[in-house]
Structure 1
Amino acid sequence: MILAFDFGTTRIGVAVGQPVTATANPLNPIKARDGVPDWQALDRLINEWQPDALVIGLPLNMDGSLCDMSHRARKFANRLGARFERPAYLVDERLTSHEAKGIHLSRGGGNDFKQESVDGLAAQLILESWFREAEHRSAQDKLEDR
């Protein structure tokens, strides 16, 4: 089991996924205050799901360069990994929030994203992207072993 996070300053999207099937599902977001998460809620989440690893979206500028949120997300990832003693992986999350909003709207959702959070859906997209990258790396390793 893997938990993924879409870091934000007021909410942190969460998704849970299964590496065997490479599928993920959104969970309710965790509240944050200026990027500081509700650690008690995270404690409950980790205790409930007992993940083997944590995946955190790394926000990047469109040219791939780091931004202020990149540093904050990396700090969050480091704290998560240390606190819960699990590997914490960063994955490029460019355009996942935009894609999540598009999916939400195509399903008939409204455009008040403060009321209708897409953070869990963004975390789901982050985790599914990480699964695809892992499959690609695994296939590449097998080709190189020949």
Structure 2
Amino acid sequence: MALAGRVLAIDPGSKRVGVALSDPGGVLATPLLTLPAEPAATLVDRLLAVAASHQAVELVVGLPRRLDGSSGPAAHTASRLAADLRAQSGLPVKLVDERLTSVIAERALLANGRKRDRRKDLSDRVAAAVILQGHLDSRRRQE
């Protein structure tokens, strides 16, 4: 059964972390913001502050698997981030396969005529929205 309320999605990266937010009904994902990944020691606190300010009831973290489905260093980092978020927030935290979401986000921004410098700023949060929308759609299909 799905929780009622906003879901916050996180697209972790080594330089930037994209964040997206659902509407209160958990139907539509919207790109929200991009945070610097550094300093890593404060990332969980910064993400939880964003979640609290938007009354998020669930967190979704993108799991960057390789195309063959295996896990590399980035997937292990995302898994640690999810575990830290779960431990510090008490909120449900789901890991969601994010393969190709950055490519989808980049193509969508190109199709909308975004300039290169603006695409770089938007790409991470749009990727987070792609991750979140996939999660929301999947959750609705299971209900």
Q: TM-score, normalised by structure 2?
A: 0.86
Counterparts of 1:5 and 1:123, CA distance in 2: 6
Unaligned runs of 5+ in 2: 1-5
Alignment partner, residue 23 of structure 2: 18
Post-superposition CA distance 1:88-129 (Å, at most 9, x none): 001110000000000111111123478533111000000000
2:44 touches 2:85 (CA, 8 Å); kept in 1?
A: no
Which of these two proteins has the greater Rg computed from alpha carbons?
A: 1
Higher mean displacement: 109-118 or 119-128 = 109-118
2:82 touches 2:95 (CA, 8 Å); kept in 1?
A: yes
Q: CA deviation at 1:18?
A: 2.9
Structure 1 vs Structure 2 CA RMSD = 2.0
Alignment partner, residue 76 of structure 1: 81
Counterparts of 2:54 and 2:86, CA distance in 1: 15
Q: Name which of 110, 135, 138 aligns with 2:140.
A: 135
Alignment partner, residue 3 of structure 2: none
Counterparts of 2:14 and 2:131, CA distance in 1: 17
Q: Name which of 114, 117, 120 aligns with 2:122.
A: 117
Alignment partner, residue 69 of structure 2: 64
Q: CA deviation at 1:10?
A: 1.3
Counterparts of 1:9 and 1:114, CA distance in 2: 17
Counterparts of 1:79 and 1:56, CA distance in 2: 11
Task: Give the number of aligned pairs.
Answer: 138
Q: Name which of 29, 33, 58 aligns with 1:53.
A: 58
After the TM superposition, which parts of structure 1 deviate over 6 Å for at least 4 consecutive aligned residues? none
Counterparts of 1:14 and 1:46, CA distance in 2: 10
Unaligned runs of 5+ in 1: 139-146
